[in-house]
Amino acid sequence: MATPRSIIKAINQPYRLTSGDIQAFRKNGYIHLKGVLSDDVLGYYEPIISRVTQRNDPAAGISLEDKDLYGKAFIQLGNLWRHDAQVKELVFCKRLARLASELIGTSTIRLYHDQSLYKEPSGGITPWHVDQQYWPMDSAKSVTAWIPLQCTPMAMGPLCFGRSSHLKHIARDVEISNESERIITQTIKKEKIVEIQEPYALGDVSFHYGWTLHRAGGNTTGQTRKAQTVIYMDGEMRLKARRNKNQENDRLSWCGDTADGAVIDGVLTPILYRNDHRDSPLKRR
């Protein structure tokens, strides 16, 4: 069944940012935007994303009790856009890609990858970490859109951000683990970093830099916390020498057709948005 034209139109229309929004994002390292996606859009794509995630869950059949820390935190599936053409519509949409471009200040935005992150009922915490520890990128011009697929109260484990932590070099070589939770928790207290955690209404979307500290609480409800993420990068991002095994794994997964030092311009990392400067951030629509 073809996606309704009204849905396609909605996910490609601009969402107007203010200059204050952009300044706040660059200062704080994250921004929580209201009403980015409509109820109709989320009502249409959530069942599709859920079906693709469940069908391809790499840990299907393993009980929550038998999973490791990472597995207890969430069910994770990457590159959903390659599994389903309708998921691709959302992942490639101009509404979100344009927001990424304006927030990080690049004329072009490229996909790094997308992934679903489903936290099961009674699922554990997502420990403190920074995403870019995993990414072999040569600049900090990367941003993740976190898209809850339902209202996400505090009990479901919405994201928690360390305000302005992207400006500090904290745990940048520590992968997500019990150790990252311990080290970063201690450092946040020492550095007096303010933690910001808020519930998400349906349609809210947050964006955070690759070096912004963040975590999520456990899901203490009886419902799965469903979230889709899209990771964007500067269209001119280059592949850097790997600092750890995680970055080498990511190179193999997403950048296998890119030479060291070259722009990450491969089959899996297409340009999603170009800013032709006809529009400028004015006031939110």
Tens digits of per-residue pLDDT, 47-61?
A: 999 999 999 988 777
Assess if residue 282 is contained within a domain. no
Tens digits of per-residue pLDDT, 156-188?
A: 999 999 999 999 999 999 999 999 999 999 999
pLDDT at 281 over 90: no
pLDDT of residue 1: 81
Please give the model's pTM, rounded to 2 decimal places: 0.94
Average pLDDT of the residues in 64-79: 85
Assess if residue 158 is contained within a domain. yes
pLDDT at 283 over 50: no
Tens digits of per-residue pLDDT, 88-146?
A: 999 999 999 999 999 999 999 999 999 999 999 999 999 999 999 999 999 999 999 99
Upper half-sphere CA count for residue 101 (Cβ side, 13 Å):
26
| Contact present, 247 and 134 (Cβ < 8 Å) | yes
Residue bearing the bigger pLDDT, 224 or 57: 224
**β-pair type (30-33, 159-162):** unpaired
Assess if residue 63 is contained within a domain. yes
Assess if residue 122 is contained within a domain. yes
Assess if residue 285 is contained within a domain. no
Give the Cβ contact number of residue 171 at 10 Å: 22
Assess if residue 279 is contained within a domain. no
CB proximity list for 190: less than 8 A, separation 6 or greater: none
How many angstroms separate the CA atoms of 12 and 124, rounded?
35
pLDDT of residue 280: 45
Residue bearing the bigger pLDDT, 62 or 234: 234
Query: Number of folded domains in the chain?
Result: 1
pLDDT at 71 over 90: no
Phi then psi dihedrals of residue 125, to 5 deg:
-70, 155
Assess if residue 212 is contained within a domain. yes
pLDDT of residue 277: 59
Cβ-based burial of 162 (10 A; exposed 0-12, middle 13-18, buried ≥19): buried
Assess if residue 277 is contained within a domain. no
Can you give the CATH number for the domain in which 164 is found?
A: 2.60.120.620
Domain containing 144 equals 5-272
Percent of the chain with pLDDT over 90: 88
